[in-house]
Amino acid sequence: MYDINMVSDEVFERLLKYLEDLKGHSRAETTKQAETILEEAEKQSEKDGEAEDKDDEVKEVEEEEEECDEEGQEEVDDAENESEDEDSTTGETKARKRKKKKNKDVTSSLRYQRARQILQILT
């Protein structure tokens, strides 16, 4: 019920009405599932923040390396042609990874929103 690919928004709205009358063990289990999703989202958000900090550090190192490379550029002109092909492949790979991460983030965000809606109804 949290996955937008499995349950459309229209069906989810009907599901919310159904959940209002949920009682007993089913209500407790559904609440527990929603809380778990929210906790996982918070942990992932913390990890993403740490990863962004690491990405910033990596970018700084890469920039420093680029500056050093520019100083000795005359010596590596021949090698540069070979590395351009590698750089374009690396760039494409990075773009694919970013797109995949963005899609994952959107899906996680929708799961989080749905879990919040469910908790609002059940609590």
Query: pLDDT category, 119, cuts 50, 70, 90?
Result: very high
Considering only residues 94 and 4, tell me which one the structure prediction assigns the higher pLDDT.
Answer: 4
Per-residue pLDDT for 83 more than 60?
A: no
Average per-residue pLDDT in the chain?
Answer: 78
Coil vs helix vs strand at 2: coil
- Give the side-chain half-sphere CA count within 13 A for 59: 6
Share of the chain above pLDDT 70, in %: 63
Distances (CA, A) of 78 to 37, 64, 81, 84, 88: 53, 22, 6, 11, 17
pLDDT of residue 123: 87
Considering only residues 80 and 90, tell me which one the structure prediction assigns the higher pLDDT.
Answer: 90
Distances (CA, A) of 26 to 15, 22, 46, 53, 61: 14, 7, 31, 41, 52
User: How far is Cα 99 from Cα 48, in angstroms, rounded to an integer?
Assistant: 15
pTM recorded for the entire structure: 0.58
Q: What is the pLDDT of residues 27-79, one digit of tens each?
A: 999 999 999 999 998 888 888 776 666 666 666 666 666 665 555 555 555 55
User: How far is Cα 88 from Cα 90, in angstroms, rounded to an integer?
Assistant: 5
